[in-house]
Amino acid sequence: MDRTRTRTRRLPSALAAAAALAALSCSTLVGPGAGAASAEAATPVAPGSLTRGADPAVPVLAGRTITDGERTVRVPGRSPSLLGASGDGYVVTTGLDGRRPVLLLDGSGRHTLVDDLGTDDARLASDGSVVALTRYRFAAQRSRVRVLDVATGSIAQRRGFEGFANVLDADATRVVVSTFPPRATMLWDLAADRVELVGRQPGYAASLADDRLAVYTGDPYRGGCSRVVRLQDPSRTLWRSCEERVTAFAPGGERLATVGLLADGRGPQDVWARGTDGTLLQHYTVAGWFGLVQWEDTTGLLLDSHGVSRAALVRCDTDATVTDGGCERAGDLRAVTAGS
């Protein structure tokens, strides 16, 4: 899921570190070394050699087209981002006429403006009811988060946060927000407009529905590691790694997908599927890079896989044996280009 947009302006040092943490939370990265996991047998994903299976059962965006089962919807504009499904439609951000609005698309591609996105980040609630829009005031080192009703575009709630705020997840009544600095993860009750401190470590991924939170123990560029905890009990560590980070929680919260903790690039060459306690289930590798990494269900993992010359959306069964891989194409083959 990449919702991060690079800013060309020079940031104050504290906010630069915060921006790096937020970028890690939103983009898929390739990390140096995978520790013990790298020694395990890996499943190579070669899109051109895989058989074609069913279309994805959840909405995914490839290029400018949303595929959702048998339905396809073309997204207008440039460099679109799919925030998720809302009712029978889809919420996207896209470049239109020098702006980057939030749009609600119906099944035929007709769109309704939700917001003009005078903002730096957008996160759709897991139930599709509201969208949280974040604007950073760099000079003041503060952030403003507005929560909008998707159907009407009206503001349901708004609040300012000290430092660089990052919305991790939301539903109709709650928002998980992390800040760095100050280092904190908070739960925002929308009805009462009350913020409760979850912990003093900045979160970077969360699932309200599954009571899961991933936090950094410190700046990962300076030796910080990753911890997976329960939102309701952040003192108990479910899994800790100094070499990988969570990129997606599976529905139900019993599995997670991870990539390397650090480094830049279009996407990682390695993705690991693990139990919440860190038990290794699968290790996938590709000659080029993985873009989208998203769980289709409790065991199926969708990987937008870019090989040397061919790319495709690939579905992998994380319960399969390493020898057969359990992978098939969930989308048509396409050429890998310099800009893809």
Q: Is 195 exposed, middle or buried (0-12, 13-18, 19+ CB in 10 A)?
A: middle
* Angstrom distance (rounded) from CA 133 to CA 123: 7
pLDDT on residue 27:
40
- The DSSP code sequence of 83-102 is EEEETTEEEEEEEBTTB--E
* Angstrom distance (rounded) from CA 94 to CA 98: 10
In three-state secondary structure terms, 278 is coil
pLDDT on residue 13:
38
**Joined tokens for residue 315:** 């579905």
Question: In the chain, what are the domains?
Answer: 13-335 (2.130.10.150)
Asked whether 310 and 52 are in contact (CB, 8 A), the reply is no
Distance (Å) of CA 243 to CA 37, 45, 59, 218: 10, 22, 30, 13
* Angstrom distance (rounded) from CA 82 to CA 123: 10
Please identify which residue in the block is written with the tokens 């309704």. Answer: 112
> In Å, how far from its chain's centre is CA 334?
23
Query: Strand pairing partners for 314?
Result: 303, 329
* Angstrom distance (rounded) from CA 299 to CA 317: 6
pTM, entire model: 0.86
**pLDDT tens digits, the chain, 340 residues: what are they?**
333 333 333 333 344 445 445 545 444 333 333 334 444 689 999 999 999 999 999 999 988 899 998 899 999 999 999 999 999 999 999 999 889 999 999 988 899 999 987 778 999 999 999 999 999 999 999 999 999 999 999 999 999 999 999 999 999 999 999 999 899 999 999 999 999 999 999 999 999 999 999 999 999 999 999 999 999 999 999 999 999 999 999 999 999 999 999 956 788 999 999 999 999 999 999 999 999 999 999 999 999 999 999 999 999 999 987 666 799 999 999 999 766 6
Residue 25: enclosing H or E segment and its boundaries? Answer: helix 13-26
Looking at residue 303, its amino acid is L
- Angle at the Cα of 66 from the Cα atoms of 255 and 3, rounded to 5 degrees: 60
pLDDT on residue 2:
37
